């Protein structure tokens, strides 16, 4: 790739809201976009947004969004010069990054070898330890035999956490409270890790009680410049997956922020990082922080950093990939106000957050001051069964945290999605709650405060009256479907049968 | 019990048990999750206003359709924007972040009962009310759908009808009595099948 020459066309190897979000910046930069899609996504928003779209294959990910050969063929066929992987799918797959580079295309993300180094948790832990980045006490190599695990656990003191070396997203992870539960938990974690990542190696870490999840956004160019763009607190999680993120974190003083930011930059430098990345830390109640992992991709929650720093992270990613140096230094990066993101999935919060695919019947985007809604849905869209059920991300910015909380509540109440279950009502309750308002957030927040959550009946009376009013109003409301259905109920079979001929 | 069936001896024009008329008033049974709400509603006037009685409480309701999916509702002094999407199961209604699948309980029951023998139902007011008229006496033969008792609540009259044909066994109320949901006002011995 010629240095500093901007791409004229990029392929986005992803789907849904993130593919749409990347395309928007590309369009603003005058770069043509290529979407790829599966059978289930023939009419998905990312396909409708792109300049060109290439069909990959059947809906299962292996035949489509994880199929490297088909994606490479699509890039060649359309003449794309670079590939943005989004998040998930192939975003953190070093073999894919390697393949893209080997075919003389640009991978918009870090180099394959950096990704490989950071993708393995024990390797990353050793690397960070060597560069004075604090890590969670525990093992720095994987172990399979129970005697070694048991000895390490005794040294750390229970409870301990069994983790998959190749892990992520809470898979292959087990909390172990006592020695007699260790062997079984280790075995279960290893088999889950093998099934999820094709690598069953596990190791132990000290289990931290009620830590906060605080991560730092970093940007590194190919010329040795590394900056951080402050933190995001992502403590509100369900099933070890983030659902609410905010910046700044109420738990950080300026002094702690500086130290953690410096550690994040040190971590990026240690790995030889290039492009946008995220250094994740756990922060305990005493203000000690520990390296967790580096996410070598654009994060789902990147918009809150964009709103507070005013930077477009996708633009920065594309420019870095094109070889351009960062146009600013650490001292030039500032932030303002407070931003919160709520993730909106097709899932049922009253039923263990079970995914709830189906057809979207009606949507209405929230708007007004300080609101950003990144989504990939429209009325009539069928939410596929095959993929992560994220529908969109609702992001607000306001001058301070209390104002941002109120704005988020308003935005959620305006964010209409009908036809599939969403956690919007649950999110309103979480954001409105006293523990959230007062900033007492930690990774066990949902389990501690909202474990038996159910929808309330506070406004059901208004819904009932509205329903009846609509029934009564009749033709003015275009009562097409149900009017017919109801009329049918009262027709005789002779009337219902329609026209027919005797003797046929 | 619902609709009028061709060939049934109740004759045409008898409405389903969940929708009764008294001077233009309709009764709706509306289901949200496990809850069933009873609403008596007088017809909308030209400005889209009416009184509705929900669980015994009268509400002044004004409705306007902004779009086919958007209702603006005024209940007393409270204004609300409702977003509605219809499905074969009922209507999804959105209100301030809450999405509720709202169903007409009569339709739900009809679906469940389809193909099965008709079930009995009781002669009881849908809401606390006072008895205005008693239209039958013990020993009287009644046909399904025939008016039995007229009750009044919040200036609206409702006629409670016979759920099935038969002979009146007992009348447990009188004019002026205050009655509540669950009280059986008239008991009927069903006509033998066939």
State pLDDT tens for residues A7-24: 999 999 999 999 999 999
Round the average pLDDT of chain B to a whole number and report it.
78
User: Tens of pLDDT along A250-304?
Assistant: 999 999 999 999 999 999 999 999 999 999 999 999 999 999 999 999 999 999 9
For A375, A441, B98, the CA distances from A427, given in Å and listed in that order, are 17, 14, 11
User: Tens of pLDDT along A400-437?
Assistant: 999 999 999 999 999 999 999 999 999 999 999 999 99
User: Tens of pLDDT along A182-231?
Assistant: 999 998 888 888 887 888 899 999 999 899 999 999 999 999 999 999 99
pLDDT for the residue numbered B15: 35
Alpha-carbon gap, residue A234 to A437, rounded angstroms: 15
**Of the listed ranges A25-39, A379-393, B90-104, the one predicted with least confidence:** A379-393
Quote the tokens at residue A466.
Answer: 């509205």
At A239, phi and psi to the nearest 5?
A: 50, 40
Are A57 and A70 in contact by the 8 Å Cβ rule? The answer is yes
Average pLDDT over residues A339-367: 92
pLDDT at A478 over 60: no
Asked if B102 lies within 8 A of A464 by C-beta distance, the reply is yes
A455, A463, A486 member nearest B93 (Cβ): A463
Alpha-carbon gap, residue A240 to A246, rounded angstroms: 17
Angle of helix A94-102 versus helix A68-78 axis, rounded to 10:
30
Helix (H, G, I), strand (E, B), or coil: what is residue A70? helix
pLDDT band at A391 (very low <50, low <70, confident <90, very high): very high
Global confidence as pTM: 0.80
Quote the tokens at residue B7.
Answer: 């060939």
Alpha-carbon gap, residue B163 to A162, rounded angstroms: 65
Q: How many interchain CB pairs under 8 A, A with B? A: 146
pLDDT for the residue numbered A179: 93
| More confident: B23 or A59 | A59
Quick check: ipTM above 0.90?
no
Q: For residue B85, list chain A residues with Cβ-Cβ distance below 8 A.
A: 361-362, 418-419
User: Tens of pLDDT along B34-66?
Assistant: 999 999 998 888 888 999 999 889 999 999 989
User: Tens of pLDDT along B134-153?
Assistant: 999 999 999 888 889 988 76
* Bridge partners (DSSP) listed for residue B25: B22
- Residue in chain B closest to A495 (alpha carbons) equals B6
Are A425 and A455 in contact by the 8 Å Cβ rule? The answer is yes
pLDDT for the residue numbered A501: 47
> Chain B within 8 Å of A461 (Cβ-Cβ)?
yes
Length of chain A: 504
Tell me, letter by letter, the H, E, C secondary structure of A413-461.
HHCEEECCCCCHHHHHHHHHCHHHHCCCCCCCHHHHHCCCCCCCCCCHH
Are B188 and B168 in contact by the 8 Å Cβ rule? The answer is yes
pLDDT for the residue numbered B51: 93
Shortest distance between the Cα of A424 and any Cα of chain B, in A, equals 6
């Amino acid at each position: 790739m010629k240095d500093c020459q901007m791409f004229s066309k990029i392929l986005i190897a992803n789907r849904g809201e993130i593919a749409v979000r990347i395309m928007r910046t590309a369009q603003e930069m005058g770069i043509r976009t290529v979407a790829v899609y599966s059978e289930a996504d023939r009419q998905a928003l990312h396909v409708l947004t792109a300049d060109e779209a290439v069909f990959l294959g059947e809906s299962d990910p292996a035949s489509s969004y994880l199929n490297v050969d088909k994606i490479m063929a699509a890039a060649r066929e359309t003449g794309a010069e670079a590939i943005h992987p989004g998040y998930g799918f192939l975003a953190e797959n070093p073999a894919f990054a390697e393949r893209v580079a080997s075919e003389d295309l640009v991978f918009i993300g870090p180099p394959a070898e950096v990704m490989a180094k950071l993708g393995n948790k024990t390797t990353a832990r050793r690397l960070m330890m060597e560069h004075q980045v604090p890590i969670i006490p525990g093992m720095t190599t994987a172990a399979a035999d129970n005697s070694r695990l048991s000895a390490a656990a005794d040294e750390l003191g229970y409870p301990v956490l069994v983790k998959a070396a190749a892990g992520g997203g809470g898979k292959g992870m087990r909390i172990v409270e006592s020695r007699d539960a260790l062997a079984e938990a280790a075995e279960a974690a290893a088999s889950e890790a093998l099934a999820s990542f094709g690598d069953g190696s596990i190791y132990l870490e000290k289990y931290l009680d009620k830590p906060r999840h605080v991560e730092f956004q970093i940007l590194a160019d190919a010329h040795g410049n590394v900056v951080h763009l402050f933190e995001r607190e992502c403590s509100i999680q369900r099933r070890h997956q983030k659902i609410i993120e905010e910046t700044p974190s109420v738990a950080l003083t300026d002094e702690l922020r500086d130290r953690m930011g410096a550690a994040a930059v040190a971590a990026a430098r240690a790995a030889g990082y290039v492009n946008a990345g995220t250094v994740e830390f756990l922060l305990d109640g005493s203000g000690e922080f520990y390296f967790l992992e580096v996410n070598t991709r654009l994060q789902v929650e990147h918009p809150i950093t964009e709103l507070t720093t005013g930077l477009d992270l996708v633009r920065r990613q594309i420019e870095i990939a094109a070889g351009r140096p960062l146009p600013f230094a650490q001292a030039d990066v500032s932030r303002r106000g407070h931003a919160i993101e709520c993730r909106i999935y097709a899932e049922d919060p009253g039923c263990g957050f079970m995914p709830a695919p189906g057809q979207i019947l009606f949507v209405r985007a929230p708007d007004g001051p300080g609101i950003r809604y990144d989504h990939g849905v429209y009325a009539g869209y069928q939410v596929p069964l095959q993929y992560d059920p994220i529908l969109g991300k609702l992001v607000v910015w306001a001058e301070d945290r209390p104002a941002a909380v109120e704005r988020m509540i308003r935005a959620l109440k305006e964010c209409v999605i009908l036809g599939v279950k969403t956690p919007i009502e649950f999110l309103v309750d979480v954001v409105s709650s006293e523990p959230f308002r007062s900033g007492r957030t930690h990774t066990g927040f949902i389990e501690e405060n909202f474990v038996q959550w159910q929808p309330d009946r506070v406004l059901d009376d208004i819904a009932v009256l509205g329903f009846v009013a609509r029934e009564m109003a009749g033709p003015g409301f275009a009562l097409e479907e149900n009017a017919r259905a109801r009329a049918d109920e009262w027709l005789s079979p002779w009337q219902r049968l329609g026209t027919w001929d005797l003797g046929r | 019990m619902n609709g009028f069936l061709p060939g049934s001896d109740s004759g045409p024009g008898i409405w389903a048990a969940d929708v009764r008329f008294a001077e233009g008033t309709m009764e709706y049974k509306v289901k949200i999750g496990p809850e069933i709400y009873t609403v008596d509603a007088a017809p909308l006037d030209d400005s889209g206003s009416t009184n509705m009685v929900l669980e015994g409480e009268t509400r002044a309701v004004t409705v306007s359709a902004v779009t086919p999916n958007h209702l603006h509702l005024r209940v007393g002094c409270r204004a609300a924007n409702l977003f509605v999407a219809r499905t074969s199961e009922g209507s999804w209604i959105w209100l301030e972040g809450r999405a509720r699948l709202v169903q007409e309980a009569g339709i739900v029951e009809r679906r469940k009962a389809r193909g099965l023998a008709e079930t009995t139902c009781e002669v009881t007011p849908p809401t606390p009310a006072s008895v205005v008229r008693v239209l039958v006496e013990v020993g009287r033969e009644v046909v399904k759908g025939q008016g039995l008792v007229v009750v009044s609540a919040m200036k609206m009259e409702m006629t409670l009808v016979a759920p099935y044909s038969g002979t009146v066994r007992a009348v447990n109320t009188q004019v002026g009595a205050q009655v509540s949901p669950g009280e059986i006002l008239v008991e009927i011995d069903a006509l033998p099948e066939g």
